[in-house]
Amino acid sequence: MAESITVSVNVSVALEQAWQTWTQPEHITQWNFASDTWECPTATNNPVTGGDFSYRMAAKDGGFAFDFAGVYTQVIPLELIEFMMGNRAVQIKFEIVSSLETRLIETFEIEDINSSEQQRSGWQAILENYKRHAESL
């Protein structure tokens, strides 16, 4: 495995809700962006081993957009998601902290365009958006 970064968040929701909020497109579009100047207008997701996903990431000012896409290499419902984005591996673990708290641990291989710190802060910001959305339901 190439050099990787791990980020995590504890979410005050039960495991099943944490999983649904992470995997259902109608939720993904509500949290999958790193700052308020970005949005995720569309998302498709088939979270099964061999399935794929595509999330449209767009600057709200219309200046830039791209698709964040990949293929799932392993999915164990309520426990583990692994996928490839091109040649980069990502792993997300779901851990029960208590009946009403779930921990997500996300490990991703770094890319060579942005600094490690920019990548860490961006992926962590997305997790924090996820937490806010999941806890608001």
Residue 5 predicted with pLDDT over 60 = yes
Task: Tell if the pTM clears 0.75, that is, is over it.
Answer: yes
Q: Provide the percentage of residues in the chain whose pLDDT is more than 90.
A: 99
Is residue 87 predicted with pLDDT exceeding 60?
Answer: yes
CATH number for 4-37+76-136: choose from 3.20.20.70, 3.30.530.20, 3.30.230.10, 3.40.190.10: 3.30.530.20
Give the start-to-end residue ranges of the domains of the chain.
4-37+76-136
pLDDT digits 0-9 by tens, 33-75: 999 999 999 999 999 999 999 999 999 999 999 999 999 999 9
DSSP state string for 59-114 = ETTSS-EEEEEEEEEEEETTTEEEEEETTEEEEEEEEEEETTEEEEEEEEE--SSS
Give the whole-angstrom CA distance, residue 36 versus residue 70. 24
- Residue 1 pLDDT > 70: no
Mean pLDDT of the chain: 97
Neighbours of 112 (CB within 10 A): 7
Q: What is the pLDDT of residues 110-133, one digit of tens each?
A: 999 999 999 999 999 999 999 999
Band of residue 2 on the pLDDT scale cut at 50, 70, 90:
confident
